[in-house]
Amino acid sequence: MIKTVFVASTEPYSGKSLVSLGLVNMLLGKAQKIGFFKPITSDTGEQKKDSHIDTILSNFDLPIAYEDTNALTWAEAMRQVDTESQGEMIDTIIRKFKYLEEKYDFTVVEGTDYRGEGTAFEFEINAQIAKNLRAPVIVVISGENKTTAQVVNGALTTIRNFELREIQVMAIVANKISPESAQDVQELLTNQVSSEILVSVIPENKSLQNPTMKEVLERLGGKLLFGKEHLANQVDNFVTGAMQVPNFLNYLKENVLIVTPGDRGDIMISALQANLSTSYPKVSGIVLTAGYQPEKPIVRLIEGLQTVVPIIAVKTGTFETSNIVGAIRSKISSGDTKKIQLAIDTFNKYVNVSELDKRLVTFTPSGITPRMFQYQITSWAKSDKKHIVLPEGTDERILKAAARLLAQDIVRLTLLGNPEEIQNIITRLDINLDLSKIAIIDPHNSDYYDDFVNTLYELRKNKNVNMEMARDMMTDVSYFGTMMVYKGVADGMVSGAVHTTQHTIRPALQFVKTKPGISVVSSVFFMCLPDRVSVFGDCAVNPNPTAEQLAEIAISSAESGQRFGIEPRVAMLSYSSGTSGEGEDVEKVRRATEIVKAKRPDLKIEGPIQYDAAVDPVVGQSKMPGSEVAGKASVLIFPDLNTGNNTYKAVQRETGALAIGPMLQGLNKPVNDLSRGCTVDDVFNTVIITAIQCQDK
């Protein structure tokens, strides 16, 4: 079962607050701890709180601090969009959401309101948020002032736009539909959308859509003179009272608000009398304009009436006041228990609650975005801090990454190198690294040196390594760091910023060695593409693996993907798909695929398959219809190092993808190799995945 659902609209005043109220009410019947999160709130002006968040929290008495229910205001979000800091915006939202998610059984997330500047960006922002939170979407569209065709076409377009971004739409709610069109909208949508999408149609309801006199008072900012007890009166119509009384009375409609100059005592008295008369429609209230208030005889008359509708005095003129009243849009506000209950009852009446609940229970999110992946691995590393040794302690990239790792309290670190030299580099480059929080070991002068030399000699004496050779080898930072891991002084090692791959992993192959049942050490990159994270293997170690080795690499890579939250769908890549190709190279991939199927029948695997068929849904369906992997592969296994290394670098450069790794697979203890062209980010991320590997021990 998922723990999140995202309520989104594509226009203002769609009625998504009704859906959120209904959902929270439904879920409270299933679980005790329900959270509510609105990532980006509307700009509230002088108000300090988003009114809808306040309504949800107070009505359901949810024990959530207001500041935990949101991440940014719309103005703050727009500033980050303008400065091209959308990644930072998404990171902030993920961090605050995850904090809430961990505390609650289920969290309802609500999208933006489409009421400020920059609405052109709004759909894309909501889509990004939903995708990064791995949440299915309930789309709410409005039928207000729309034909049946406009409603249906708008719904289909919105669904298609979400699905193009690989976001699953769980339900579509067509709200505010004219009653005479409701059945047509229901049938047309049901026939045209996937059966996996639940369709609900809610007819328009004036009691929900039209404002109360309390909302009119708040919007006008006027002074209430009479009728406080009737502020809940609903306003369905309004009329300007500027003509003679006999003509004015002809314009009264049910639940009418009368806007009239404050010196028109005749209009005021006739309106109050009409409200008491069974021959005229009900009057909701009166607004007196232009700063005039009733004269004393009128006040005395009103005070003697048993029932008085709300009478509000404002300073604005009649024309301006009428325009403001005409633009008022009703909101379901905190304390308006009548409207809140009506919204919940409406949701329960028109939405198939039992079916929606079943879909929430059975929904399984697929894929993971780069931002969520990075947040997730950082959280995992922090949950059980490990000790990582960095042999290349004098490299500035290593030192800058170490500073970030310590600042975020992700791991414990040891640097290898001369302490004085390291201090000089930190000072010269102004790196904010507190050396009191980090261990620095100079292998030449270490208390571990003699013990490590003896251990190496015992381990390698049958390989013609004598004591003198062992002493010389142990001055090498790669051997010393690897021995720290072997002896349990450190949990894992990351190196390779300065040294070659061979230099880095040779000591691990010599005495850390492979896990039982593993014959080949291989590697994977976590490729953080713009909209997903894929596992690429092997792109760093094995030049030309055999079919048996390729099968082992595939199984190890699938297990690595699963360990890091990526559902493995394995594509065994080649230059042909299915049975179309022949030749030694494609036959090797075909044999490797069969070996994997025999050893791990639980894995979803396809091979041989071309790269485009593996990752593009349209091509995959065309070339290999019915495949569980084609078009949606998450683990891509390359047939040789030449293909894998070139492909990962091409994808990285051409798409701007972040490549985390390589992460070595199959060793008894975690040792990972960096590229000599690595960045600070590469070091930072590789240390994190190494720390997570250490947790498995």
Q: What is the CATH number of the domain that holds 249?
A: 3.40.1390.20
Kindly state whether residue 58 falls inside one of the protein's structural domains: yes
User: Quick one: which of 565, 556, 530 has its CA closest to 368?
Assistant: 565
Contacting residues for 485 by C-beta, under 8 A, at least 6 apart: 389, 491, 492, 493, 508, 512, 669, 670, 671
Query: 61: helix, coil or strand?
Result: coil
Kindly state whether residue 503 falls inside one of the protein's structural domains: yes
Are 572 and 500 contained in the same domain? no
Taking only the tens place, the pLDDT of each residue in 510-537 is 888 888 888 888 999 999 887 788 999 8
Backbone angles phi, psi at 326, to 5 degrees: -65, -25
**Distance (Å, whole) CA 548 – CA 596:** 9
Kindly state whether residue 332 falls inside one of the protein's structural domains: no
Kindly state whether residue 364 falls inside one of the protein's structural domains: no
Q: How many domains does the chain have?
A: 4
The pLDDT value recorded for residue 688 is: 94
Are 42 and 133 contained in the same domain? yes
Taking only the tens place, the pLDDT of each residue in 109-133 is 999 888 766 667 789 889 989 998 9
Backbone angles phi, psi at 200, to 5 degrees: -130, 140
Are 379 and 314 contained in the same domain? no
Are 89 and 56 contained in the same domain? yes
Are 436 and 306 contained in the same domain? no
Domain that holds residue 552: 518-665
Are 126 and 170 contained in the same domain? yes
- Please check whether residue 272 is in contact with residue 304, taking contact to mean a CB–CB distance below 8 angstroms: no
Q: Within the chain, which residues score under 70 in pLDDT? A: 1, 43-47, 83-86, 116-119, 366-367, 581, 697
pTM, 2 dp: 0.69
The pLDDT value recorded for residue 379 is: 87
Are 504 and 530 contained in the same domain? no
Kindly state whether residue 16 falls inside one of the protein's structural domains: yes
- Please check whether residue 664 is in contact with residue 541, taking contact to mean a CB–CB distance below 8 angstroms: yes
Are 352 and 429 contained in the same domain? no
Kindly state whether residue 89 falls inside one of the protein's structural domains: yes
What CATH number is given to the structural domain containing 497? 3.40.50.10950
Are 200 and 297 contained in the same domain? no
**Distance (Å, whole) CA 332 – CA 205:** 13
**Distance (Å, whole) CA 521 – CA 556:** 9
Are 525 and 634 contained in the same domain? yes
Are 600 and 495 contained in the same domain? no
Are 121 and 264 contained in the same domain? no
The pLDDT value recorded for residue 503 is: 87
